[in-house]
Amino acid sequence: MENLQKARELLEQKNHTFVMVKGNKVHTSQLKGIKPMYDAVTKYSQQAKESSVADKVIGKAAALLAVYGGIKHIYAELTTPEAIGVCKKFNLPISFKQQVEAIQNREKTGLCPMEQLARQTDVPEELLQKIARFLTQMAAKKNAEK
């Protein structure tokens, strides 16, 4: 629990959107959306295993990625019933400040694209592949616009 407390304090005190703590190793991000959790469980997979994470927003997609990455505890400033359900199903303790019905997209015009992907599966590995494809498509689109 010490790691979770440290992650939560860093999230609340600093300008971070994501904090992962495992012993004396701390990984932080200021990126928005699913990218910090995705990076944690792919690029920093060894540190992610058995770590504690504090995140601004944990929806079902982020919860499934946390399960995939072997994360031990989660704290979210904002979460959803679906994310809590995933955490319960996979015995991943989650604490949170606020619960909302759904995570909206950035324009507040509908459901977050990651939550749309997560509605299609309860299998962490499957969702990871869907998110990887989505992020690749978004990067290609961004490059094409330059």
Asked if residue 145 is part of any domain, the answer here is no
Stated pTM of the model: 0.95
CB atoms within 10 A of CB 28: 18
What residue numbers bound the domain in which 11 lies? 2-140
pLDDT at 74: 98
CB atoms within 10 A of CB 79: 26
Reported as a single tens digit per residue, the pLDDT across 70-107 is 999 999 999 999 999 999 999 999 999 999 999 999 99
pLDDT at 144: 85
Asked if residue 28 is part of any domain, the answer here is yes
Q: Are 93 and 79 in contact (CB under 8 A)?
A: no
Q: Using pLDDT thresholds of 50, 70 and 90, give the confidence band for residue 141.
A: confident
Question: CA 8 → CA 49, 52, 97, 104, 130, distances in Å?
Answer: 18, 9, 11, 23, 29
pLDDT at 107: 93
Asked if residue 102 is part of any domain, the answer here is yes
pLDDT at 143: 85
Asked if residue 146 is part of any domain, the answer here is no
Mean pLDDT of the chain: 95
Domain count, the chain: 1
Residues sharing a CB contact under 8 Å with residue 97, sequence separation 6 or more, in sequence order: 76, 77, 78
Q: Which CATH number fits the domain that encloses residue 21?
A: 3.40.140.30
Exposed / middle / buried, residue 87 (Cβ in 10 Å: 0-12, 13-18, 19+): buried
pLDDT at 103: 96
